[in-house]
Structure 1
């Protein structure tokens, strides 16, 4: 029996549906695109709202405007991922010890989506840091972002270590305060009370989110080390090395924040 003729239109439609199913409608990859789009919208919105509602914006240099908008973008991401991280680490129940199976292998569509959005942000921010280097940050920022990007991509693709990635991403809690400090400085409010209060708040949030939280992360990894050993070799290495490097960087930055706050308070007195 002769084969039925193939309709070219139907064939292309079938291939398009497969492509959409495999890539465009796949939660993690769609989330990455959503993260990049979120960054673009947040950057443009920051530029738009600032040009109309902050008179000092027009007097900023071109590079200051880029950083101003970039920090608005990073603040939006920080708020989003902080909410998601706190939910998954403390409230979701997905990573409860009461459930069967290794904690390191647990994930959900929502947790993968949130990681994908963060990957979109890190890709965008790394690209901007590279393009304007070193105006938006030196090598320490590049190292921090690359480690965060590698770890988050691995977790999203493999479905492993979501809990530990979210514990690490809780550090984004400090980002709005850091950005606000830069905004106040750029606006000429370095001697204001708001600048001093912001500095004190930064010390507290940094201590909790980037020091104590990492200590809890290391303790949790120690308790569940038998499950971590079951991970893929690359994931096992990454989950041990990346948090350690970032923690050391957090300690160095924390010492700088303390010195800065002390300097500010000394000047005021």
Structure 2
């Protein structure tokens, strides 16, 4: 009975964090980013309303990625309970991080719904829905904390993706050194945190098959876990291809002769 009450309190706290996360990210989008951006960057005030919305959205995305990605690394390095038992280890820290991300995903889905004509991105919507589907089990049952945390490390590539967009919007030439350096960093970090880890991740997934902890999960979490992983990795490979192709085009452009 006591354990059930603790679980209920943990779930309630998780969804409170989801709600506060959603409100916080919406406040950043609606109030903080427009004020700071219009003060610090002349280009912002010259943008169309749709472009300003995307600018603010990417500012929020970058802040979310830095917060969540940094906490992921901390958990991976210092949370022995999660690392020792990847399926049923003490999920508290991971649940709080997942709750923050879930609040962000809800905010971002509503953003896409509101500005669908301007920001049409069905791949990102599929990504968000797949993540929310899987993270629902983490929030409600506290299962798979290690694997949930491992997935969130991929957010560390987001700031470089957003910086590429910002540099393009402010008119930085694509052949300039800042753009090229960021492009290289973006491709490298994206590959490390989203592609290179795939073999290691799935080897750990397969290692749990048939174990007592895996059987305790039940069919629902098992399906949510595997299906969401496959969807996310298909999208990651697709995005990696686009990043590599774009970087190749920029690097191979020959300077025009005078």
The alignment's TM-score, normalised by the length of structure 2, stands at: 0.89
Q: Deviations over 1:132-162 (max 9, x none)?
A: 1153341111100100111112211111112
SS of corresponding position for 1:104:
coil
Deviating runs (4+, > 3 A) in structure 1?
22-26
Shift in Å at residue 89 of structure 1? Answer: 2.5
1:56-205 equivalence runs, <5 A: 56-97=43-84, 103-191=86-174, 192-205=176-189
2:230 to 241, 244, 255: 244
How far apart, in 1, do the equivalents of 2:243 and 2:83 lie? 35
How far apart, in 1, do the equivalents of 2:167 and 2:34 lie? 17
SS of corresponding position for 1:41:
helix
Q: 1:212 and 2:199 equivalent? A: no
Q: Which sections of structure 1, spanning at least 5 residues, go unmatched?
A: 1-21
How far apart, in 2, do the equivalents of 1:83 and 1:24 lie? 23
Q: Deviations over 1:210-269 (max 9, x none)?
A: 012232211111112223333121100011111111111111111111110011112255
Q: 1:233 and 2:216 equivalent? A: no
Q: Which of structures 1 and 2 has the bigger CA Rg?
A: 1
- C-alpha spacing 1:140/1:65, structure 2 compared with 1 (3 Å): same
How far apart, in 1, do the equivalents of 2:156 and 2:196 lie? 13
How far apart, in 2, do the equivalents of 1:37 and 1:121 lie? 9
How far apart, in 2, do the equivalents of 1:130 and 1:73 lie? 17
Contact 2:91-2:143 within 8 A present in 1 as well: no
Q: Considering only aligned residues, what root-mean-square deviation do their CA atoms show, in Å?
A: 1.9
Decide which moves more: 108-117 or 201-210: 108-117
1:53 to 26, 34, 40: 40
Aligned length: 244
How far apart, in 2, do the equivalents of 1:29 and 1:47 lie? 28
SS of corresponding position for 1:163:
helix
SS of corresponding position for 2:118:
coil
